[in-house]
Every structure is written in C-alpha cells, then in structure tokens.
A and B are shown apart, each in its own frame.
Chain A
C-alpha cells in the first residue's frame, strides 16, 4: 500500500525519486477482477462493483426449521428421500417429483413441527430413516424406503440431519445446527448377537 507522505518532496529536492516511487506503485496497483467483482473503465476513473453476496451452499439435506421444516433433496443409495407434507398430508419426495419422476406443482414438502416432541433439554432431531434389509440392501420399490421425520431422541437406526433447539417456553425454534452435508450410501455393522445392525451412513 502506498504511503502518500513518502511522495512529498522538500523544496530544492528532486521530484524524480518520488515520481519513480509513484510509477512503481501504480504498476503494482493494477485493478483486476475477481469472483463477484465487475469493473467499468470510464474517463472519470474505474468503477468497481463488488457483489460478494454469494448464494449459500445448497448442500443435500440442508434443513430450515420453523413451524414447519424444509429439507433440501438428498439421497440414500441413490434413492431420493420423502417427507410427510403438511399441505397435502401425503408422503412426498423432497425433489418435488412424483413416484414416476415427474415434477409436481405442489412446491417442496413441508414437515409440520410438533413442539411437544422434544427431549428434556428442549431439543429434537430432523432424522433420516432408511429401510435397509439385513443383507444390506435398500428396497427402493417400497414407498417410503427413505424418509425424513422429526424425532424426540436419537434413534438406533438412521442418521440425524440436524439438531434443533427450542426456546425456554418450547414454542419456537431458537437455533438449528446442521449435521449432514452429503448424499449417502449405507453399510451395516453388527452390534449384538440379536442381529441388530448399526447403519453406517457414508458419504457417496
């Protein structure tokens, strides 16, 4: 950065060193564009329009929770998850498509939040459930093979998408912490002799 004070010349001194310093600074100070920056070169000078308001990262499973919850589409083993839509009272795909893959006009499904469904700390989870058989396969022909639900406490199966904290009166959402950021494939890990397997959700 140029210190303008360094360009001052005392009476009787030569201007040339200050001139060279200024030229050097101008060469170094070339204005260049970058992401979100637009330059207009006018006779009056350079106008730099900086618009750094980048759209937030639209990752899978991004949860927005208020009285209802919106969840951005995500997949498990390539199957798009569904959610109980408060508008239509039906299980609908998060990507706003019907079972045949055709786009619908109903908008994204909205999950109604039950404010009585929380733990002692006043928190609940937005939870991803996948119907995985004991052999480790996902039956994608079954409606609701991959669903998103509200859960009071952690479940033994599935994957939390977000944890949501309510206010002290338990009537509104204070903060939502996003947990999941990826689409998933599932592996099973045997956890006891009864054959109950832990579902391990791995990024796909």
Chain B
C-alpha cells in the first residue's frame, strides 16, 4: 500500500499551499455608482457610526442630527459648534456621521411583535420574520414562548436558543418632510326645525421647515386614518409625511447572547428602500376659499343636536358624504416620488 509520510505531506503539500494561500485580489479602478441616500457604516472603536450619501427632497438636502465629534473640522466651523459633545443639526452635504440608534432584535432572542390570548387561554404570538438571507448566515427564527400562570397571574417570556445561533439586530432610517396640517373646527347652532353644524377647515404651518433624516429601532408606517376620523377630530392630522429609507442589519458572531453589546465583531448589512432623490407635494394646495365655513343642515330637531360629531354624521349618510367630500378636496396629506 502506498504511504505518504507526515513529514513529506507537510513539506510538499502544506508547504506549497502556504506559499500560495491565501491569495489576495486588490480591486483597482473606479467605484461603482452609489445612489443618493446610500448608507455606509464603520466602527470607530467605541460606537457604530453611519453616514448617508447626500440626497435631496424638493431640491433641499436632508438634515441630520448628530454630535460635534462626528463632523468634519470644516463643518464644525461652518455650524459654529462650540463643543465636540454638542448636538448639531446639519445637511447631509456636510457629510455628518451619526451614532446608530437603539436596535431591535429579529429572530432568536426577539420579543413578539404581537400577542393574543384565545378564550381558551391559549397564547398566540407573532414575530418579525427573519429574512431568508440571514437564515443562510445562521440566524434562526425566534422560539420565544410566553408561559403564563393564571393561578399566580404572571406571564414570562422564555427564549430558547440553538447552539451556534447568530443574533440579528436592526434599525431603520426614514425621511420626515414637513407639510401643512389640516384641522377641523366645529360649531353648532339651531334654527326652528333643524340643527346647523358648521365646520371650518384650517391649516397649521408645521414647526419644522426642512426634511429630516430620522432613525430608530423600527419605522412604523402610520395607517392613513379615515376621513370621518380626521373630520370628527378623533384622529389628529400630522404635520409631516414620512417614507422609509433603509434598514441596517447587524449579525453577531455565532453563539452570541441577545444581551451582547453591539461591538465591532458584528457584521453590518444594508437594505435600501430608496435609490433616488425625491419630490414631495401636497395632495391639495389650500386655496383662500378653503378656510370658509361649511354649514350642514342635519335635519335633527332644534336643540337636540348630538354633541358628538361622529354620531351626528352617522345620522345621515348624505351629510357624511358631503362633509367627507369637502374634507377630501381640502386636506393636505402629501406624497413622495423619485426624480
């Protein structure tokens, strides 16, 4: 039988491999095109920092909030920053870096996004799904379960974790663009056989004047309230519109604990949602006549008007339809699009 001595193997094979492996390929040449709002990350020895390539909304650069120590000396001069620990807001064209915000856990170690209890006392939970890409890297779905004791009245979250599992953390960035806020003021009067309900649509100028870069554990797209809710004042219209920019993920080394610090051993990954500069417009631009009062005759007998506006409108579909139509034509909720 043919035999290879360990010494020969180490010299001829392993020795030859040592000379050739690892080989490195250095990339020489131009950079690929990076789109507006492209995020980059780095660890400065203490914190993870991110930077966003300048992007524009309605021709204006987004404004970001950070601290003096994360901006260039030139930007420190330009924005008269007194101390490196001072908070500062500046446009993305000045290339600020931002410390990453609080993160959320996805998959193993995560808290349930929602829980419900059936009449039989069975607890059902749902979790934010782990993207397939990260499952291939070793991130596992959450196996957390709620253990409850009706007798003792406690609910405890129990996390089970497989050996070798990686932890996935994430945060979101988004754009907040200020816009006029629509509000409705109601007044009531009575005539002989009817109640007069008068509503006036007003517009409030937003306190912010610039589009902002926002960040946080998770961007929540607020569901658009119904016109009846906005009209009746049950839900207040916002002074801004928002759209998500990106999700930044961090994958831990194997066998990490959900409580582990997010240090330089974690690997960042990016998922962008926006790739171009944006325009934003109001759905309707208010006209001077839009703030004139609108009177609705309810048909209810004088003096017995329902003080609850929602109830008042519910009395009469036509009335609701008229009021909603007026509101729809005059409310200001906006929209974004790429340019």
Structural contact, A56 and B281, CB atoms closer than 8 A: no
A7 to chain B: closest residue by CB: B14
With A22-B13, A177-B93, A181-B339 in contact, is A13–B6 under 8 Å at CB? yes
Structural contact, A15 and B4, CB atoms closer than 8 A: yes
Contacts of A10 in B (CB 8 A): 6
Stretch of B19-27, B157-165, B222-230, B301-309 that contacts chain A: B19-27
Residue B188 CB within 8 A of the other chain: no
- For residue A15, give the distance in angstroms from its CB to the closest CB of chain B: 5
With A125-B59, A190-B285, A193-B288 in contact, is A177–B54 under 8 Å at CB? yes
Contacts of A178 in B (CB 8 A): 36
Residue B132 CB within 8 A of the other chain: no
List 5 additional A-B contacts (Cβ < 8 Å) besides A4-B18, A8-B10, A184-B339: A22-B13, A22-B17, A57-B33, A181-B277, A191-B285
Residue B338 CB within 8 A of the other chain: yes
The 8 Å CB contact of B337, one of A52, A181, A202, is A202
Structural contact, B14 and A4, CB atoms closer than 8 A: yes
Residue A72 CB within 8 A of the other chain: no
- For residue B41, give the distance in angstroms from its CB to the closest CB of chain A: 22
Contacts of B7 in A (CB 8 A): 11
- For residue A155, give the distance in angstroms from its CB to the closest CB of chain B: 10
Contacts of A2 in B (CB 8 A): 17, 21
Contacts of B18 in A (CB 8 A): 4
- For residue B292, give the distance in angstroms from its CB to the closest CB of chain A: 13
Contacts of A179 in B (CB 8 A): 56, 59, 277, 339
Residue A100 CB within 8 A of the other chain: no
B7 to chain A: closest residue by CB: A11
A202 to chain B: closest residue by CB: B337
Contacts of A22 in B (CB 8 A): 13, 17
- For residue B26, give the distance in angstroms from its CB to the closest CB of chain A: 9
- For residue A13, give the distance in angstroms from its CB to the closest CB of chain B: 6
Contacts of A75 in B (CB 8 A): none
Contacts of B279 in A (CB 8 A): 200-201
Structural contact, B54 and A200, CB atoms closer than 8 A: no
Question: Which residues of A does B touch, CB under 8 Å?
Answer: 1-2, 4, 7-13, 15, 18, 22, 48, 50-54, 56-57, 125, 154, 159-160, 163, 165, 175, 177-182, 184, 189-193, 198, 200-203
Most chain A beta-carbon neighbours within 10 Å: one of B21, B22, B25 = B21
Chain A to chain B contacts (Cβ below 8 Å), 18 pairs = A7-B17, A9-B9, A9-B10, A11-B6, A15-B4, A15-B6, A48-B25, A51-B29, A52-B32, A53-B29, A56-B33, A160-B59, A163-B56, A177-B61, A180-B277, A182-B338, A198-B281, A198-B285
With A and B bound together, what is the CA distance between A9 and B18 in angstroms? 14
Structural contact, B285 and A181, CB atoms closer than 8 A: no
With A and B bound together, what is the CA distance between A71 and B17 in angstroms? 53
Residue B276 CB within 8 A of the other chain: yes
Contacts of A190 in B (CB 8 A): 285
Contacts of A184 in B (CB 8 A): 339
Residue B151 CB within 8 A of the other chain: no
- For residue A151, give the distance in angstroms from its CB to the closest CB of chain B: 11
Structural contact, B285 and A189, CB atoms closer than 8 A: yes
Tell me the chain B residues, 25-56 only, with Cβ under 8 Å from chain A.
25, 27-30, 32-33, 36, 54, 56
- For residue B261, give the distance in angstroms from its CB to the closest CB of chain A: 27
Structural contact, B59 and A192, CB atoms closer than 8 A: no
Residue B317 CB within 8 A of the other chain: no
Structural contact, B287 and A192, CB atoms closer than 8 A: yes
With A and B bound together, what is the CA distance between A173 and B291 in angstroms? 46
The 8 Å CB contact of A193, one of B10, B281, B287, is B287
- For residue B99, give the distance in angstroms from its CB to the closest CB of chain A: 25
B53 to chain A: closest residue by CB: A177
With A and B bound together, what is the CA distance between A50 and B27 in angstroms? 8
B14 to chain A: closest residue by CB: A7
With A and B bound together, what is the CA distance between A57 and B34 in angstroms? 10
Structural contact, A56 and B30, CB atoms closer than 8 A: yes
Tell me the chain B residues, 261-290 only, with Cβ under 8 Å from chain A.
276-277, 279, 281, 285, 287-289
